[in-house]
Structure 1
Amino acid sequence: MKVERSHWHIFILMIGVFGILNTEMGVIGILPLIADHFQVSIAEAGMVVSLFALAVAISGPTMPLLFSRVNRKTTMLLVLGVFIACNLVSAWTTSFTILLIARVISAFFHPIYVSMAFTVAAASVGKEEAPKAVSKIFIGVSAGMVLGVPVTSVIAASTSLEIAMLFFAAVNAVVFIATMLFIPSMPVRETLSYRAQISILKKSMIWLSIAAVIFMNGAVFGVYSYLAEYLETITKMSWNTISLMLLIYGAANMIGNVAAGKLLTQHAYRTVAAFPLALGAVFIILFFVGPFAVPMGLIVLLWGILAGIGANINQYWITSAAPEAPEFANGIFLTSANLGTTVGATVCGLLISSIGLQYVVLGGIVFLICSTVSIFLRSSMHKSTEQPL
């Protein structure tokens, strides 16, 4: 009975994370409508995405830390309530400035719920099964990033921008009610002082883990950020086909999430060490088969699976370096992942400007080499100190 309850709680958390990520990423599909509705340029409309991501990166280590000693159910309800309120304001406001403020406010609370979802999922099962539980939360992350864009776009096209915004609030409201009714009170019984949690930053292992995550995420998203342009320019695909490719990539992400849970449970270090090599091989093949549609379709599928596995690896690699402070570690993971995405997209963008779009994979390969060095150094430290990987 306890196992069934934990599965039910993880499912609610998974939908909750979907709602949070859907709020963050879903607006990408309606940026032209936002620009038209608020009479701003498309570049200005893009601020609803960029400022949200910046706020998440800033609040990643701090907000989960501040709420780490508060009852987890209370914290979840607070965050969901903030998201509901901010989404309602976003749907009904006529001021673009107020829209941005509402988005930024909700973004600051984003890391609290997501980091707590990872922590609660891992704590609800035995230590050996924790990676599998966390992988289910990542399904919600992937679904929010992948399904949020097309679903919101369809809703907006068939109804209105306001209804699309209200969809975000509706998902959060459903999770709020489910949390209130079915999630028990979860007081934090083993509390660590803020100083004790922050002290994990004194560990060399945590900084090597942060570096590895920045490089791994930089490799994945540095190249992925330009995938649509690559498929259009190099592979000569139509926009309908490109949309299908992006959907395949996203669905493959969810397959990777499921696979990662099993791999990290059974062969954690081997999985982490093999990831840069596997993704590097994909990038090398991509470079040579770029102009050919069918091989590119297969590469996108494999790349998507590896990216889903990589997301789980990133979270595992940081939290396993600081198991004594899970919420703070998960917050650090969120910030590291966002920094990796930003740095990767920037570096690969500069590479494209310098030597051409087809060479974007070189940026990803360089990041993967750096991640391999970081992983090796942490492994060497583990062998000398006998700390857990």
Structure 2
Amino acid sequence: MKRIAYIGCLGMIGVITTEFGVIGILPQLAEHYHISIEKAGILLSAFAMVIALTGPFMTLLASEFDRKKVMMTAISIFLITGIVSAFAPPFWLLLLVRILPAFLQPVYIAVAIAAATSGVNDKIKNEMMGIVLGGIAITMVTTVPLATWLAGRLNWQASFLVQALVTMIALIAIWKGLPTMPVKEKKSYGSQLSILKNKTFIISTTMNFFMIAAWFSTYSYFADYISKTKNMTGDMASYMLLLFGITGVLSNWLAGKLLGRSIPITAALFLSGTVIIPFALYLSEGSTIATVAVIAIWGFFYAPCFLNASAYMISAAPNALEFANSLATSFGNLGVAVGTTVSGWFIFHSGVAIAPWVGAVFGVAAIAMVGLRYLLERKQRI
């Protein structure tokens, strides 16, 4: 099963490189297309919004098909996106080709996790899920900083070539490394949709939304934030993204272990970073060493957010794994879109320095949802 999980992880790297690879090059894209940084941010927020609106429905439709074929189809579309984007098409076309794979991103994630956790015992389910979702943290330490570095040294189109190369490798790995995986037990749409009546699941979904919105209020504008508030160059931005990712890989591994002990405590622990980091960034003003240390801690708290969100939601709906995962992805991406958009509005009116404080507000709301679920479950046990 670990082989399936690692191949799923490789595909995840391709998927996340496509979604978040633009974060480090938003300033270059804004300059090339003669648009504001907030408008360039649409490349991220529109991608996320499509996932949020269509993810659960696409996952339900794909739930009857062979998992290997579904994964290959999704990755193929991501590959096409990287290739077309590298040719620097008009902005409307760049936006369009970025939106297309968004329809299948939650499908890929849900199916990859389902394939990796199928047939394993409950004690290692979170560990297998952690391996697949670990692709997010690995992306932050490899392809995202590499794409940012190449954009600074060559041009922003090189960033999209990195995305295309990674997705091509992932496609070959899935094709050659996975067996056919027909769905043995087909669940009715009704049985999966029934989780939407579960109050605990609804609260968990809301927590997911607020948590991801909190992190992406600042992370979406990472390069712009550290250049304007911390006076770092484009090269330094790529190095900071690398550091961000290194600490994230470590925390993602740690979170996978901690989730096996207590999902609510693990979620709350990493959520606390949404409030801690804004204060730390503010206090690091004027000190490069302090800023670097804060970015390392920031990466540590941020990296497991998608893993924590999935585990937190699945724990409230264990009998609808794929659908719960797709909702985790969809509401997480709704958080990306809302966090990016709301923060962009505040940045437009007050400057990029306000972004972490916008995130802190969302973070407090997420922590409140964890508390609300705890009280609800405690009441149900009495």
- State the distance in 1 between where 2:165 and 2:316 align: 37
Structure index of larger Rg: 1
- Describe the shift of the 1:373–1:46 C-alpha distance in structure 2 as closer, same or farther (beyond 3 A): closer
Query: For 1:38-117, what aligned pairs fall within 5 Å after superposition?
Result: 40-42=33-35, 48-90=43-85, 98-117=93-112
Partner residue in 1 for 2:365: 370
The answer on whether the counterparts of 2:49 and 2:334 sit within 8 Å (CA) in structure 1 is no
SS in 1 for 2:265: helix
The answer on whether the counterparts of 1:287 and 1:359 sit within 8 Å (CA) in structure 2 is no
The answer on whether the counterparts of 1:135 and 1:261 sit within 8 Å (CA) in structure 2 is yes
Give the counterpart of 2:166 among 147, 168, 171: 171
Give the counterpart of 1:334 among 313, 329, 348: 329
Match of 1:312, as an amino acid? L
The CA deviation string for residues 50-106 of structure 1, in whole angstroms up to 9 with x for no partner, is 433332222222111111122211211222233334444555696665554433222
* More divergent stretch after superposition (129-138 vs 358-367): 358-367
The CA deviation string for residues 209-237 of structure 1, in whole angstroms up to 9 with x for no partner, is 11111121222222334444443444444
- Describe the shift of the 1:93–1:227 C-alpha distance in structure 2 as closer, same or farther (beyond 3 A): closer
* More divergent stretch after superposition (296-305 vs 184-193): 184-193
Query: For 1:27-38, what aligned pairs fall within 5 Å after superposition?
Result: 27-28=22-23
Deviation (angstroms), 1:358: 4.8
* More divergent stretch after superposition (268-277 vs 300-309): 268-277
- Describe the shift of the 1:159–1:354 C-alpha distance in structure 2 as closer, same or farther (beyond 3 A): closer
Partner residue in 2 for 1:132: 127
- State the distance in 2 between where 1:288 and 1:30 align: 27
- State the distance in 2 between where 1:235 and 1:161 align: 22
Partner residue in 2 for 1:3: none
Matched length: 380
Deviation (angstroms), 1:313: 1.1
* Unmatched runs of 5 consecutive residues or more in structure 2: none
- State the distance in 1 between where 2:182 and 2:380 align: 33
Over the matched positions of the two proteins, sequence identity in percent amounts to 31
Partner residue in 2 for 1:206: 201
- State the distance in 2 between where 1:385 and 1:286 align: 40
Query: For 1:1-40, what aligned pairs fall within 5 Å after superposition?
Result: 6-28=1-23, 40=33
The CA deviation string for residues 266-313 of structure 1, in whole angstroms up to 9 with x for no partner, is 232221233333542343333333332222221211111111133321
The answer on whether the counterparts of 2:137 and 2:304 sit within 8 Å (CA) in structure 1 is no
- State the distance in 2 between where 1:353 and 1:361 align: 14
- State the distance in 2 between where 1:159 and 1:358 align: 29
Deviation (angstroms), 1:24: 2.6
- Describe the shift of the 1:155–1:9 C-alpha distance in structure 2 as closer, same or farther (beyond 3 A): same
Deviation (angstroms), 1:160: 7.9
The answer on whether the counterparts of 1:88 and 1:169 sit within 8 Å (CA) in structure 2 is yes
SS in 2 for 1:69: coil
Partner residue in 2 for 1:302: 297
Partner residue in 2 for 1:322: 317
- State the distance in 2 between where 1:88 and 1:356 align: 34
User: TM-score scaled by structure 2?
Assistant: 0.85
Deviation (angstroms), 1:17: 0.9
Partner residue in 1 for 2:245: 250
- State the distance in 2 between where 1:226 and 1:171 align: 23
Higher relative contact order (CA 8 A, sep 6+): 2
Partner residue in 2 for 1:192: 187
The CA deviation string for residues 289-338 of structure 1, in whole angstroms up to 9 with x for no partner, is 33322222212111111111333211111121112111111111112112
- State the distance in 2 between where 1:209 and 1:195 align: 20
User: TM-score scaled by structure 1?
Assistant: 0.84
Q: Is 1:287 the counterpart of 2:282 in the alignment?
A: yes
